[in-house]
Amino acid sequence: DLYNFRQIEPDTKVHGVIGNPIGHSKSPHLYNTAFKKAAFNGIYLPLLVDNVANFLNTYSSPDFTGYSYTIPHKMAGLECCDEVDPIAKAIGAISCMIKKPSDGKLIGYNVDYLGAIAAIEEGLGGSSSASNGSVSPLAGRLFVVIGAGGAAKALAYGGKEKGARVVVANRTYEKAKDLARKIGGESMPLTELNDFHPEDGMILANATSVGMKPNTDATPISKEALSRYSLVFDAIYTPKWTRLLREAKETGAKVVFGTEMFLNQAFVQFEKFTGLPAPKDLIRETLARNT
C-alpha cells in the first residue's frame, strides 16, 4: 500500500527520499497518501543511494522534481545543490531538494529546524511564526540546546533565527563552543547543565541520543534542574515518553514530543513539493497508524 497511483503519466511529478538504508522509511507511504488526498499528480519513492552525485547525474530527468534527504546523505546532498538556502548552508546539511521548473537548478533546504521550531512555538501557546509571520514566542527567551550534532545545529540555528538567546550544552565542550560561536550564542560543558539556573521559564531542547536506546533510562539533566524550564522538547521520538519528558511533565513543564518535529517538517516539505496546503490531519493519522 505504498503507492496510490494506477499509472505514471508524462506530467506526473516524481519525488523520493534519498538514504541508506531506506526500506524502513515511513515517508513514501506518508507522502503518497497525502498526494492522493490533495489530488496532486505525484509519486514518492524510496531511493536506496550510495553516491548522491552519481545518483543525481543518472536521474536528471525533469520528472524528478523533489527529494528528501535522510541518513547519511544530508551533508552530501548539500554539496550537490546548485543553490543552498542560507539557513541550510549555515546548518551544514539539507533535508530536502527541489528542482526549479524554470531552469532545472537544484535548490537545497533544511526544513528539519522549521519542524522543530514550529513544534516548540506551538507548545509555547503561539501559532507557528513561519505560518503567520507574527513575532515568535521564542523571541527573547533563554533556549538551552543539549547536543552539538546535526539535530542540535538545526535547533540552535532555528532558535537564534527566532530571536531566542541560545545556550548550547554538550558532552564534548569544544563542539558546543564551535556551534555557539557560529550562531552567536553561549556554550557550556554538559556537566554544568544541572547547575545552570540564571532564570525561570527557560526552554530546553534535547538533541542528543541520550534516552533513545531501548532499555536505558538515561537523561541528560537532573529532575531538580528541570524545574527551571517551562517547556521541554525532546528530538527523540522513539520512545515517545523519554525519561526527560516524563520528569519534565512531573515538574509541571509543558512537554513537546519528537513526533511533532517529524510531522511539522513533513508538512513544510509537502508544501514545498506541491505548492498546496498540507493535509495535516491525514498526515498525522497516517503516521500514527504506521508507528
Mind telling me the catalytic residues? 74
Residue closest to ligand ATR, measured at CB = 149
* CA distances for 15 relative to 18, 32, 37, 65, 272, angstroms: 10, 10, 16, 6, 12
Q: How far is the CB of 215 from ligand ATR (least distance, A)?
A: 14
Is 151 a binding residue for ligand ATR by CB under 6 A? The answer is: yes
C-alpha cell at 180: 555557539
Is 207 a binding residue for ligand ATR by CB under 6 A? The answer is: yes
Cis amide linkage into residue 239, ω under 30° from 0: yes
Q: Which amino acid is at 117?
A: I
Is 152 a binding residue for ligand ATR by CB under 6 A? The answer is: yes
Q: Which is nearer to ligand ATR, 19 or 279 (CB)?
A: 19
Q: Among 97, 85, 121, 67, which Cα is nearest to 261's?
A: 121
CA torsion sign, 67 to 70 to 72 to 78? positive
Q: How far is the CB of 261 from ligand ATR (least distance, A)?
A: 12
Binding test (CB under 6 A) with ligand ATR, winner from 84, 130, 166, 210: 210
Angle (CA) 111-116-119 rounded to 5° is: 125
Contact in structure between 279 and 34 (CB atoms under 8 Å): yes
Q: How far is the CB of 99 from ligand ATR (least distance, A)?
A: 26
The CB density around residue 192, as the number of other CB atoms within 10 Å, is: 11
Binding test (CB under 6 A) with ligand ATR, winner from 26, 89, 175, 177: 175
Q: Which is nearer to ligand ATR, 106 or 145 (CB)?
A: 145
Between CA 177 and CA 121 the distance in angstroms is: 26
Q: Which is nearer to ligand ATR, 149 or 239 (CB)?
A: 149
Among the residue ranges 22-30, 202-210, 263-271, 281-289, the one whose residues contact ligand ATR (CB under 6 A): 202-210
Between CA 31 and CA 180 the distance in angstroms is: 35
Among the residue ranges 29-37, 114-122, 155-163, 164-172, the one whose residues contact ligand ATR (CB under 6 A): 164-172
Is 182 a binding residue for ligand ATR by CB under 6 A? The answer is: no
Is 242 a binding residue for ligand ATR by CB under 6 A? The answer is: no
The CB density around residue 127, as the number of other CB atoms within 10 Å, is: 13
Among the residue ranges 110-118, 158-166, 171-179, 254-262, the one whose residues contact ligand ATR (CB under 6 A): 171-179
Q: Which is nearer to ligand ATR, 110 or 230 (CB)?
A: 110
Is 194 a binding residue for ligand ATR by CB under 6 A? The answer is: no
Is 189 a binding residue for ligand ATR by CB under 6 A? The answer is: no
Beta-carbon contacts of residue 233 (< 8 Å; ≥ 6 apart): 116, 119, 120, 123, 203, 204, 205, 206, 255, 256, 258, 261
DSSP state of 130: H
Is 249 a binding residue for ligand ATR by CB under 6 A? The answer is: no
Among the residue ranges 46-54, 124-132, 144-152, 281-289, the one whose residues contact ligand ATR (CB under 6 A): 144-152
Site for ligand ATR, rule CB under 6 A: 147-152, 170-172, 175, 190, 207-210
